[in-house]
Structure 1
Amino acid sequence: MLRAASLRAIVGVRATASSARRARDDKPPRRTLRAASSTSASVSSTTIAPFCELLSRDESSSNATRPLAVVIGWFGCELRHVKKYAMMYVDAEWDAVAVAPPSVSTLVPSVADTYGDYVLRALSKRQAMERRGPIVVHVASNGGFIFAGNLMLKARNGDARARALFDRTKGFVFDCAPGNLRPDIIARAAAAVIGGASATTEPAPIFEAFAKALMMRPSIDARLRSIDEVWGKAPASSVEDASWTPPHCPAMFAYSEADVLISPREIEAFARLREEKTGARSDLHKYHDAAHCEIGREASRFDDYRKKVHTFLSEIRGATVQ
């Protein structure tokens, strides 16, 4: 009953937000699914869970050991936007799962857990992990970082499907992430989502008051702290389960000096910290004029981003999978 109610809440919130955006603005979307190769028509897209699709080349064999990218979108994103970035991996002959976590699943632990179970179950049923090679997890903004962190917490707590995901993970890609989560960041992100525009420095006092109250709730505060801990962003407050640790693998960071939501200094600090803690390298790629989570908005910048991702993948693909 809880799972059904949570899913209805997820669908209801997403449908309401989408309807509101369409009612305010009938302009065509700014982001569209884009493939680099002439064979883009051969890409199949299969819904495997709510707001979650598997993208693959039609000619790929279900028995082939193919690498997989799990691409998790930002707060308030739409699936079609996430699929554009997932196509970077399909163009590199990887399969990709695009996930657009509903906004409510970012900050409400019970909904995050329920939706996370749907995604993990879908991956398991589709055998998207068992028959494939190494996995790369791509997270966008704090929203993607938080949702992936929730999945990582499941792995730490013994969830077999979550462990299967992260035990095969051989690389991370961080897109405009992570930053230090504060009420003003949540507020301005929410204002951008509802307004259907890029984030700005303009204060959003009503949203900020709500975000502050939300973050003060003990369950939410504890969950966000646990997520920072499992990512290694904050010191562990308790003895960790020695039977499982998050993957210590290379990471790529794509971020922008012009980002008004997440400071590039915070991203760089996390990259250095992660490198020190794990011994795995961090590749930093800074852009100078891209808005938050819009590195791929312009064609020339998207092409450069894709090339950098492909270079990173070429080093990951040969990684040994246990």
Structure 2
Amino acid sequence: MADDEIDYNIVFPDAATSERHWQGTKEPVVVLLGWAGCKDKHLSKYSSIYNEQGCVTVRYTAPLKAVFVSESFGFKELSGTAQKLLDVLYDYEVENSPVFFHVFSNGGFMLYRYAVELLRDSERFRQLRVVGAVLDSGPGGANVRGAVRALAATLGPRVHPALWCVLAALFAATVFVLRVVLYPVTKYVHRHHYDAMRDGPPRWPQLFLYSRADRVIRHTDVEDMTAALSAKGLPVESEDFGSSAHVSHFREFPARYTQRCRDFLVSCVAGGEEAEGRGRRQRRNVQTQ
């Protein structure tokens, strides 16, 4: 389903499936943020993991221009997109349900970064109850070679080889100048998403799924991020799939991937309910004093 501004898809589970898994409690809403160039038919395979678990799912993939052009040049185009996505939860009246993110590569991570900032800084969105997030094949730091490989994988054989060489050279030069050479200055205008989320991470649990065989996102970037979050005392888990390529862990290890995501979702929802219960008890105690 789509509205006039952003092209997203939302799927509601049947009542019987929802009741079987969540037994009268509000079913979670899982927001899936696709990788750059991701087709919805591919993202829908991931959403089925959660639909079969009785969850509502919202699928969205940012436009290529926003990921590779606007954000690379420091225009925060995806900040407004993140706000519209969070508005969808209110449009369908599921804002009181537990919210869970499933984020893919840097294309999805850019959107996730802005959503995290809105959930922290906006009085309206601060009311949403996010319980956790899965991050697949990301995030990656400033990596020119990986960025070019991501662009190559996205464009594929559709671009003539000669034109591709020109585009790759221009893109690599832009990324190198803005994100490496000038970054000590440009970071005050537009911080790299990796740095912003390392220094201002969310408080909810996060599961990082990655692979040492990934040629787009360096495994060391993911491991450095998890180490930084652990050092801050934040709940973080990770799993190295070892041999699978970029955003291919589900394709290579479907059963293992599915079970890992579902188990993490269930634990996050349970943890969120416990925290909410403690909050209600504390508020009652304050009111009776």
TM-score range for the pair, normalised by the shorter chain length: 0.7 to 0.9
Unaligned runs of 5+ in 1: 1-45, 198-202, 237-245
**Partner residue of 2:116?**
152
Q: CA offset at residue 140 of structure 1?
A: 0.9
Q: CA offset at residue 99 of structure 1?
A: 1.4
1:68 equivalent to 2:57? Answer no
**Partner residue of 2:101?**
137
Contact 1:146 1:224 in 2 (8 A): no
> Which of residues 256, 259, 269 in structure 2 aligns to 1:317?
269
- The percent of aligned pairs where both chains have the same amino acid is 25
Unaligned runs of 5+ in 2: 19-23, 159-164, 280-289
Contact 1:256 1:290 in 2 (8 A): yes
1:56 equivalent to 2:20? Answer no
The number of residue pairs the alignment matches comes to: 254
CA spacing shift, 1:116–1:313, aligned 2, 3 Å: closer
Q: CA offset at residue 150 of structure 1?
A: 1.4
- Residue by residue, what CA displacement relative to the aligned partner does 1:3-56 show, whole Å, maximum 9, x if unpaired? xxxxxxxxxxxxxxxxxxxxxxxxxxxxxxxxxxxxxxxxxxx44562311122
> Which of residues 208, 214, 222 in structure 2 aligns to 1:267?
222
Q: CA offset at residue 149 of structure 1?
A: 0.5
- Residue by residue, what CA displacement relative to the aligned partner does 1:38-96 show, whole Å, maximum 9, x if unpaired? xxxxxxxx4456231112213368x9621111111112222222222122111222211
Contact 1:189 1:261 in 2 (8 A): yes
State the distance in 2 between where 1:266 and 1:96 align.
28
Q: CA offset at residue 141 of structure 1?
A: 0.9
**Partner residue of 1:293?**
247
Runs of at least 4 residues off by over 6 Å: 217-220
State the distance in 2 between where 1:55 and 1:219 align.
43
Aligned counterparts, 1:117-128, within 5 A: 117-128=83-94
> Which of residues 217, 222, 233 in structure 2 aligns to 1:278?
233
State the distance in 2 between where 1:255 and 1:99 align.
21
CA RMSD across the alignment: 3.1
**Partner residue of 2:257?**
305
**Partner residue of 1:42?**
none
State the distance in 2 between where 1:79 and 1:182 align.
27
TM-score by length of 2: 0.76
CA spacing shift, 1:266–1:218, aligned 2, 3 Å: closer
TM-score by length of 1: 0.69
Contact 1:152 1:230 in 2 (8 A): no
1:258 equivalent to 2:219? Answer no
Which structure is larger by alpha-carbon Rg, 1 or 2? 2
State the distance in 2 between where 1:219 and 1:159 align.
31
Aligned counterparts, 1:222-233, within 5 A: 222=188, 224-225=190-191, 227-228=193-194, 230-231=196-197, 233=198
CA spacing shift, 1:223–1:255, aligned 2, 3 Å: farther
Contact 2:13 2:52 in 1 (8 A): no
CA spacing shift, 1:149–1:311, aligned 2, 3 Å: same
State the distance in 2 between where 1:222 and 1:94 align.
39
